[in-house]
Amino acid sequence: MARAVSNKTKTINTVIAGTLGVLMFFPILWIIILSFKTEEDAVRAPLEVLFQSGWTTDNFSTVQARSDYFRHFSNSVIISLGSTLLGLVVAIPAAWSMAFVPARRTKDVLMWMLSTKMMPPVGVLVPIYLIFRDTGLLDSRVGLTVVLMLINLPIIIWMLYTYFREIPGEILEAARMDGAGLKEEILYVLTPMAVPGIASTILLNIILAWNEAFWTLNLTAANAAPLTAFIASYSSPEGLFYAKLSAASIMAIAPILIMGWFSQKQLVRGLTFGAVK
Amino acid sequence: MATKASRAAARMMISPAVILLFAWMIVPLGMTLYFSVLRYNLLTPGANPFVGWENYYWFLTDPSFSAAMVNTLVLVGGVLLITVIGGILFALLLDRPMFGQGVIRIMVIAPFFVMPTVSALVWKNMFMNPVNGIFGRIATGLGFQPVDFFGQIPLASIIIIVAWQWLPFATLILLTALQSLDQEQLEAAEMDGANWTSRFWYIMLPHLARAITVVILIQTIFLLSVFAEILVTTNGGPGTASTTVTYLVYVSSLLQYDVGIGSAGGVVAVILANIVAIFLMRMIGKNLDA
């Protein structure tokens, strides 16, 4: 039973929580504002920036001209989409079989897969770097796609597994009784029921791959550099650059910020491996 | 019922994933172990003789290592402290009835979706820059000497940035856990005369205990690998003031080209992470049975 809450209490709660929300969001809000200012205005006192300066959209084209945003953007898209889809191809069959044909060792296999995610990347940085250097994969989109697929594979399998396990097995048995083969079973019965779970998995993994900043920084130079590296190139300032840095930052995070808003629930499930629902 | 044929099919479907992950884990890790006992520097080509524990000896007795260990512990501990306590407060606040809850929640959670390089650079320049940063301006405006964040308190500055990124994660998970709490239980306690403090201590906190543990363990795994935030702000400096174990391994292997010592450091990092991982795995494993 929900209790009736007076509007006064609700207003007080809203003010307190709203203040906190604005404080947390402020850095993002601030770069949105600065990205529409000229460089001279962007370094003025905050109140002057807000009330005594004009607006401009020049920064976005400057950033594109200075550091080729679109090439980095397309690298990010290719790498994050590619690694997610590649991961799905490997993970869907694995998660399907563990959820519906559990064997004695299924739990051990799942836990072992999870344990590979616990390995810190620096533990394998040197060999991966050397292998990539010797095979020409350094600074290639293919190499990065494969690495990101592998580091996110345990999360993809786990997420799919927790979703698949919620699909009642009886429906699959009924389909089998009606003469559906394995192919029909997966294609016509399982897939439609699993689509929401698969969609959530795709969403979360694109976010994780998009923001991954260890391998993307260490394994790329110019050709395959995604947006994480594009932003890192702004770490050595050249004159006034706040407005350009803000515009570049907004361009790098906007797609994921929007996707992230739709994926709050999936985030909890995916990153806690089903331990909190 | 699973038939023999479907079991065989199941094994076939799972094998690509198992083989890939096994290769991904064993091949590079084996190479790291192997390199860690060789004298192997990319700048001095030629034979890479076996030197046994020498690299470990150099890595572990290097004064940078003890500094890096302390820094890693302070970084992980500091961020955990801020995010867990802050996360509980935020979750309790957001769980109360209010107007526009969805919008407020989105604002709180948004920082988690900002890529590490962006948040580090934005904090470094727009907030922590002693001249043009907002904090510096506020300090000057109030008549104080502005703090040179990355010169005077580099590690604390990085802790602030990383905590800003992870506070939304803790909040989101604790809020999810809080919302699964049985409201009737709380109301019953209230009717029996329990005040808010005792309801919090005896009902809410025990209910959150599991979620808090999960937050701590998962964040620790990620925080041990914090890298980009250090790379674009302080480069581990001044001196070794903000060098962590992860960053030290990066410096040894990719900046000083010492594959041997870098690999030894990598092995040390794996061992450290595994100590945490064992606890995490045990918790998640228990959940699988339920």
Cβ neighbours of B10 in A, within 8 Å: 97-98, 100-101, 103
CB contact under 8 A, A93 and B123: no
Q: Could you tell me the two tokens for B13?
A: 């479907």
A275 and B281 in contact by Cβ < 8 A? no
Among the partner-chain residues A22, A111, A128, the one whose CB lies closest to the CB of B281 is A111
pLDDT digits (tens, 9 = 90+) for A75-103: 999 999 999 999 999 999 999 888 888 88
Domains along the sequence of chain B with CATH: 62-257 (1.10.3720.10)
Interval A91-116 mean pLDDT: 86
Q: If you search the block for the tokens 């205990």, which residue do you land on?
A: B209
Highest mean pLDDT among B50-54, B86-90, B192-196: B86-90
Tokens representing residue A144 in the block: 């990065």
Q: Cα–Cα distance between B61 and A61 in angstroms, integer?
A: 51
Average per-residue pLDDT for chain B: 88
Q: What's the pLDDT tens digit per position in B18-39?
A: 999 999 888 988 999 998 898 8
Task: Indicate whether B4 pLDDT > 80.
Answer: no
Rounded Cα distance between A122 and A128, Å, is: 10
- The verdict on B142 touching A (C-beta cutoff 8 Å) is no
Averaged pLDDT for residues B74-101: 93
Yes or no, beta carbons of A107 and B132 under 8 Å apart? no
Nearest to A235 among B6, B103, B232 (CB): B232
The DSSP call for residue A4 is P
- Which tens digits make up the pLDDT trace of A153-174? 998 998 889 888 888 878 878 8
Whether residue B290 is predicted with pLDDT greater than 70 in this model: the reply is no
Q: Sort out which chain A residues have CB atoms less than 8 A from B94's CB and list them.
A: 17
Question: Quick check: A275 pLDDT over 80?
Answer: no
Q: Mind listing the pLDDT tens digit for each residue in B208-218?
A: 888 888 888 88
Tell me the one-letter amino acid at A41: D
Helix (H, G, I), strand (E, B) or coil at B38: strand
For the stretch B148-196, pLDDT in tens is 889 899 999 999 999 999 999 999 999 988 988 888 888 888 888 888 8
**Higher-confidence residue: B73 or A168?**
B73
Residue A239 has pLDDT above 70, yes or no: no
- Return the residue in A122, A186, A235 with the most chain B beta carbons within 10 A, the one to mutate for interface testing: A122
Whether residue A114 contacts residue B284, with contact meaning beta carbons closer than 8 Å, is answered with yes
Question: What's the helix, strand, coil split of chain B in %, to 5?
Answer: 75, 0, 25
Q: What residues of chain A lie within 8 A of the CB of B227, using their CB?
A: 121-122, 213-214, 217
Three-state DSSP state, B244: coil
User: Chain B: nearest CA to A272, how far in angstroms?
Assistant: 7
Inter-residue contact B131 to A47 (CB < 8 Å): no
| Nearest chain B Cα distance for residue A216, angstroms | 10
Q: What is the pLDDT of residue B2?
A: 55
List CB contacts (< 8 A) between A227 and chain B.
115
Whole-angstrom Cα distance, residue B72 to residue A60? 38
Show residues of chain A in contact with B189, CB under 8 Å: none
B165's tokens: 């990124």
Q: Would you state the pLDDT for residue B225?
A: 87
pLDDT band at A4 (very low <50, low <70, confident <90, very high): low
Average the pLDDT over each of A2-6, A173-177, B38-42 and give the range with the smallest value.
A2-6
Residue ranges of B 21-40 with Cβ closer than 8 A to chain A: 21, 24-25, 27-29, 31-32, 35
Contact B213/B283 with Cβ under 8 angstroms?
A: yes
- pLDDT score recorded for residue B289: 58
Chain B residue closest to A216 (CA)? B228
Helices A106-117 and B259-289, interaxial angle, to 10°? 140
What stretch of H or E contains B118?
Answer: helix B116-122
Model pLDDT for residues A36-70, shown as the tens digit of each residue: 998 888 888 888 888 888 898 888 998 898 888 99
Instruction: Name the phi and psi angles at B226, rounded to 5.
Output: -55, 130
Q: What confidence tier does A20 reach under pLDDT thresholds 50, 70, 90?
A: very high
Judged against a pLDDT cut of 90, whether residue A26 lies above it is answered with yes
- Worst-scoring range by mean pLDDT, A13-27, B65-79, B275-289? B275-289
Confidence band for B92, pLDDT divided at 50, 70 and 90: very high
| pLDDT tier, B288 (very low <50, low <70, confident <90, very high otherwise) | low
Residue A81 sits at φ, ψ, to 5 deg, of -65, -45
* Side chain identity at residue A182, one-letter code: L
* Contacts of A14 by beta carbon, 8 Å cutoff, 6+ apart: B98, B99, B100, B104
DSSP H/E element including B181: none
Give the N- to C-terminal CA distance of chain B in Å, as an integer: 22
What is the pLDDT confidence band of residue A1, given thresholds at 50, 70 and 90? very low
Q: Given CB atoms, is B169 within the 8 Å cutoff of chain A?
A: yes
Alpha carbon distance A213, B232 (integer Å): 11
pLDDT for residue B70: 93
Give the SS3 label for residue B41.
strand
Looking at domain A69-233, does it have CATH number 1.10.3720.10? yes
- Output the six-digit token pair for B85: 């306590």
Tell if the CB–CB gap between A94 and B18 is shorter than 8 Å: yes
- For residues B215 and B87, is the Cβ–Cβ distance under 8 A? yes
Predicted pLDDT at B50 = 86
Taking contacts as CB-CB distances below 8 angstroms, the residues of chain B near A236 are none
Q: What's the mean pLDDT in B240-246?
A: 91
Residue B274 makes CB contacts below 8 A (sequence gap 6+) with A118
Contact B244/B71 with Cβ under 8 angstroms?
yes
Answer for the pair A69, A230: CB distance below 8 angstroms, yes or no: yes
Confirm if A127 and A119 have CB atoms less than 8 A apart: no
Instruction: Name the residue ranges covered by the structural domains of chain A.
Output: 7-59, 69-233
pLDDT tens digits along A247-268:
999 999 999 988 887 777 777 7
Mutate to test the interface with A, among B1, B7, B21, B37 (most CBs of A within 10 A): B21
Q: From its phi and psi, is residue B52 left (phi > 0), alpha (psi between -120 and 50) or beta?
A: left
pLDDT of A245 strictly over 70: yes
A179 in contact with B at a CB cutoff of 8 Å?
A: no
Residue B38: phi and psi, rounded to 5, are -110, 150
The alpha-carbon gap from A161 to the nearest alpha carbon of chain B, in Å, equals 11
The pLDDT tens digits for A174-208 are 888 888 887 887 788 877 888 888 888 898 899 88
Measured distance CA(B288)–CA(B290) in Å, rounded: 6
- Residue B228's H or E segment, with its range, is helix B228-233
- For residue B79, is pLDDT > 90? yes
As a whole number of angstroms, the distance between CA B112 and CA B172 comes to 10
Contact of A167 with A101, CB cutoff 8 Å: no
Q: What is the mean pLDDT of residues A238-253?
A: 87
Nearest-neighbour CA in chain B from A34: distance (Å) = 10
Q: CB A207 to CB B113 under 8 A? A: yes
Find the angle CA(A257)-CA(A258)-CA(A264) to the nearest 5 degrees: 80
Task: State the pLDDT at residue B171.
Answer: 93
User: Which residues in chain B have Cβ-Cβ distances shorter than 8 Å to A239?
Assistant: none
Taking the CA of residue B273 and the nearest CA in chain A, the distance in Å comes to: 7
- Predicted confidence band at B120 (pLDDT cuts at 50, 70, 90)? very high
Q: How many CA atoms lie within 13 A of B178 on its CB side?
A: 21
Task: List CB contacts of B218: < 8 A, sequence separation 6 or more.
Answer: A271, A272, B280
Distance CA A76, CA B31 (A): 29
Q: Residues of B with CB below 8 A from A210's CB?
A: 115
User: Quick one: which of B113, B103, B89 has its CA closest to B175?
Assistant: B89
Show residues of chain B in contact with A211, CB under 8 Å.
Answer: 113-116
How close A140 gets to chain B, by Cα (Å)?
A: 18
Chain A touched by B218 (CB under 8 Å): yes
Q: Establish if B260 touches chain A: CB-CB under 8 angstroms.
A: no
Interface of B with A in 219-238 (CB under 8 A): 221, 224-225, 227-228, 231-233
